[in-house]
Structure 1
Amino acid sequence: MSASKSTLSVFLLMCFLFCSVSEEKTVKSGDDVTLHCQSPRDEAITSLKWIRPDLKKKTDKYVFYFRDSQIFEDYQHPSFDGRVQLKDPQMKNGDVSVILKNVNINDTGTYECRASVRNEESEPINIINLTVTDSGQTSGNTQTEGEKDEGKKDRNLGLIVGLIVGILLLVAAVVGGFVFYIKRNGRPCQRVHYTAADPQQDIQLSDL
């Protein structure tokens, strides 16, 4: 029973060490991107290689190459010169991620992380498929969204102005109708004059 457990433990350990993980990343041109990689063994890293298989075959150069506590820029592909650095320079807890700065369309591709201890050769422990999109296209989309927002604001402003004008016209119509009604149906006060039918009668009455 103990032998079976030991065999299973060794199998799981080997799988953990050599089975690589793949992930997809999409970023905009000009951005910085972190290429994540975690060493499965919590030991001092003696060798770290970040490679692009397509470039490695053509030029035998690396995206990033670290060995025996030194970074070898001479082995780095010219297109990555000065643009790649360790996320954690001390690679604590097996963090061997790197930051690729100011990416461009030509950085689109597959990146492999290979970390080893005791100078042992390592299989890829992480594979990243990076896609870099043109920032101009993204800006264009943003501008289109901005134009849509401006259009909505203009329409809302038009509705508000139209509503205010409508209310003012309604008030003016009500006031005008009321004034017209008063002028049409109102009767001015009439003065009553009493005059004698016969002047002689007035004289006789005064003599009494």
Structure 2
Amino acid sequence: MNPGQFCGICATLFTHFILLVSAGQKTITAESGQNVTLPCQAPHNNIIVVEWSRADLQPDYVLLYRDERFDPENQHQSFKNRVDLQDRQMKDGDVSLILNNVTTADAGTYECRVFMRGANRRKRAHLKTEPITTIRLNVLPGQTGGHTEDGGKEDGSVGLIVSLLVPAVLLVAAVVFLIYRKHKQQQNKDSYQPPA
């Protein structure tokens, strides 16, 4: 294998590594008192029920929107009058959650699920399917910094990628350099002709 082939393989592996690291749940960090939007996109518009939940709060939910209105019956007390959908008409499948005046108690992992028209309907919408979006919300008391357009500070996957990217690039560069150096030494050894 020549150095060019090795570099190509390294680049391919590195690309797959970056894609793997960036997959998974999204993390948003916000300050106490901010309004935060947790993004969620359904595959199409035939949505009849939207449920936002947090596993540590079950059986209560964060928000349940059914039959074009909110269902407060089993909503967790701490979210009453503090949550809304970004678009109640759910145009283009947008079922993002707006969480007003966040506190450190709001930190946790939020899951977004939907019922589509034609699916089995239940009185209660706790779906037994995988969530379409999972978001980890971190809430910090009064820190400042750059914020995303949804009201939160992007954290997690971007920071993780950057923190892994620099050492990975240095490692790949070191390996390529060592292979190149060994290849050059081998060339010099092969071209050496002992005196007659």
Normalising TM by the smaller chain, what interval? 0.5 to 0.7
Residues 1:132 and 1:82: Cα distance change in structure 2 (over 3 Å): same
Q: Deviations over 1:111-148 (max 9, x none)?
A: 0000120244542000000000011xx27x9xxxxxxx
1:75 alignment partner, SS class: coil
Can you give the 5+ residue segments of structure 1 that lack an aligned partner in the other structure? 1-19, 142-208
* Counterpart for residue 133 of structure 1: 140
C-alpha distance in 2, partners of 1:94/1:27? 25
Checking the alignment, whether the CA contact within 8 Å between 1:21 and 1:125 is kept in structure 2 is no
C-alpha distance in 2, partners of 1:21/1:97? 18
Structure 1 letter corresponding to 2:100: K
**What is the CA distance between 1:21 and its match in structure 2?**
5.3
Checking the alignment, whether the CA contact within 8 Å between 1:49 and 1:113 is kept in structure 2 is yes
Q: Deviations over 1:20-52 (max 9, x none)?
A: 952000000000000100001x23211110000
1:33 aligns with 2:36: yes
Q: Which has the higher contact order (CA 8 A, sep 6+)?
A: 2
C-alpha distance in 2, partners of 1:107/1:65? 17
Checking the alignment, whether the CA contact within 8 Å between 2:39 and 2:97 is kept in structure 1 is yes
Q: How does 1:77-88 map to 2 (within 5 A)?
A: 77-88=76-87
**What is the CA distance between 1:67 and its match in structure 2?**
1.7
Checking the alignment, whether the CA contact within 8 Å between 1:21 and 1:126 is kept in structure 2 is no
Can you give the 5+ residue segments of structure 2 that lack an aligned partner in the other structure? 1-22, 121-126, 146-196
Runs (4+) of structure 1 exceeding 4 A deviation are none
Checking the alignment, whether the CA contact within 8 Å between 2:45 and 2:91 is kept in structure 1 is no
Q: Which has the higher helix share?
A: 1
* Counterpart for residue 43 of structure 1: 45
Q: Deviations over 1:48-68 (max 9, x none)?
A: 100000111xxx111000122
Percent of aligned pairs with the same amino acid: 44
Residues 1:21 and 1:86: Cα distance change in structure 2 (over 3 Å): farther
Structure 1, 31-40 or 121-130: larger mean CA deviation = 121-130
TM-score, normalising length: structure 1: 0.52
Residues 1:108 and 1:98: Cα distance change in structure 2 (over 3 Å): same
TM-score, normalising length: structure 2: 0.55
2:73 alignment partner, SS class: helix
